[in-house]
């Protein structure tokens, strides 16, 4: 029987319980999936929404026997309300740590973490990507890739404020990120990525000699080509997404988060998953937030989580 796959329940004050149950019920590979979270809270949230599913509490993955039911590896949590919880921070971090430990020790294929509120990191980490990179003993080598079958995008810097981006764009960072992208993508999809990289400034600073495009990005591309990386650019960000057929690329690398995620989401909406490349295991998340405003209302769209489950399940079948 195939290895188990974990879904970390994530932020308790959110749509997570709803999308987990909806996605799990419709997935053919659900027998390999279990949840890491608080059993009682999940059960109460599911009941409030009106979703029908049998939930089992386990205290170890060794206790998972009946894979036809939704098994929950229980993480202790004190809660005063089922959709408003002031004790979430330690609970979410504990859940992530349990998933990391299981995956790091190869007891599970990998995990999907449902969305979280980044406030739990108290500004120590920019997000889950950076948090898990630290736990994998990595520094600036991890890659956030937003993926679907048509296109992938990668931000060179992730959740930085705009004013801090320019100082981070150096050849060393570009090299580390692109090498991780090339190696991990090749391993995951059994084919090398065809990469285009964007400039930072509008119209690539009109090709001025002292621009960051000419001084840093263009020389980096030339050096990476010599390392057998299929990368072209830099291209202006305002036109590259309309030239996919002409340029024949499948990955766009941008200088910052919204430079690539905003057009990607405008094109594909919920048809996307977030894959962290470079870790010692497979970690995926839906490409959306916690949606507190509709928590408990039964209106959440599980498409992105369903795509994440389908993707990691296919990888599980091939291992």
Residues 86-107 pLDDT 10s: 667 788 899 999 999 999 999 9
List, for residues 7-30, the tens digit of each pLDDT value: 999 888 888 999 999 999 887 778
| 115 burial via Cβ count (<10 Å: 0-12, 13-18, 19+) | buried
What are the residue boundaries of the structural domains of the chain, listed by start? 1-138+279-319, 140-278
Give the residue ranges of DSSP H helices in 111-170: 128-135
At 211, list the tokens.
């621009």
List, for residues 51-90, the tens digit of each pLDDT value: 888 899 999 999 998 888 899 999 988 776 666 666 677 8
List, for residues 147-168, the tens digit of each pLDDT value: 999 999 999 998 888 999 999 9
| pLDDT beyond 60 at 264 | yes
User: In CATH terms, is domain 140-278 a member of 3.30.420.10?
Assistant: no
List, for residues 234-257, the tens digit of each pLDDT value: 999 999 998 888 889 999 999 999
For position 281, what pLDDT does the model report? 93
CB neighbour list of residue 153: distance below 8 Å, 6 or more residues apart = 145, 146, 251, 252, 253, 254, 260, 261, 264
For position 103, what pLDDT does the model report? 95
Range scoring the smallest mean pLDDT among 44-58, 115-129, 207-221, 245-259 = 115-129
Considering the segment(s) 1-138+279-319 as one domain, its CATH architecture is: 3-Layer(aba) Sandwich (3.40)
Identify whether the C-beta of residue 84 lies closer than 8 Å to the C-beta of residue 113. no
What is d(CA 304, CA 111) in angstroms, rounded to the nearest whole number?
15
Q: Which of 265, 252, 142 is nearest to 198 (CA)?
A: 252
Identify whether the C-beta of residue 255 lies closer than 8 Å to the C-beta of residue 212. no
């Amino acid at each position: 029987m195939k290895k188990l796959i974990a879904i970390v329940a994530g932020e308790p004050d959110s749509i997570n319980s709803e999308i987990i149950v909806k996605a799990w019920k419709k997935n053919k590979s659900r027998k390999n999936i279990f949840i890491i979270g608080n059993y009682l809270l999940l059960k109460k949230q599911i009941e409030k929404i009106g979703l029908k599913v049998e939930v089992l509490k386990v205290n170890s993955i060794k206790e998972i026997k009946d894979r036809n039911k939704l098994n929950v590896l229980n993480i202790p949590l004190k809660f005063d309300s089922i959709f408003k919880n002031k004790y979430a921070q330690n609970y979410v971090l504990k859940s992530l740590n349990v998933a990391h430990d299981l995956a790091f020790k190869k007891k599970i294929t990998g995990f999907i973490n449902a969305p979280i509120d980044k406030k739990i990191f108290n500004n120590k980490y920019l997000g889950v990507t950076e948090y898990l990179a630290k736990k994998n003993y990595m520094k600036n080598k991890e890659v956030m890739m937003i993926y679907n079958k048509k296109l992938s995008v990668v931000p060179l810097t992730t959740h930085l404020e705009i004013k801090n981006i320019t100082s981070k764009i150096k050849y060393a960072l570009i090299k580390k990120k692109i090498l991780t992208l090339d190696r991990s993508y090749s391993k995951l999809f059994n084919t090398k990525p065809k990469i285009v990289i964007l400039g930072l400034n509008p119209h690539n600073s009109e090709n001025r000699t002292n621009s960051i495009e000419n001084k840093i990005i263009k020389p980096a591309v030339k050096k990476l080509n010599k390392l057998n990386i299929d990368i072209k650019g830099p291209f202006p960000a305002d036109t590259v997404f309309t030239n996919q057929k002409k340029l024949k690329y499948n990955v766009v690398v941008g200088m910052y988060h919204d430079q690539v995620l905003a057009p990607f989401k405008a094109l594909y909406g919920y048809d996307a998953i977030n894959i962290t490349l470079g870790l010692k295991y497979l970690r995926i998340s839906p490409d959306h937030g916690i949606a507190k405003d509709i928590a408990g209302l039964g209106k959440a769209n599980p498409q992105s989580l369903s795509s994440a489950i389908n993707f990691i399940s296919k990888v599980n079948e091939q291992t």
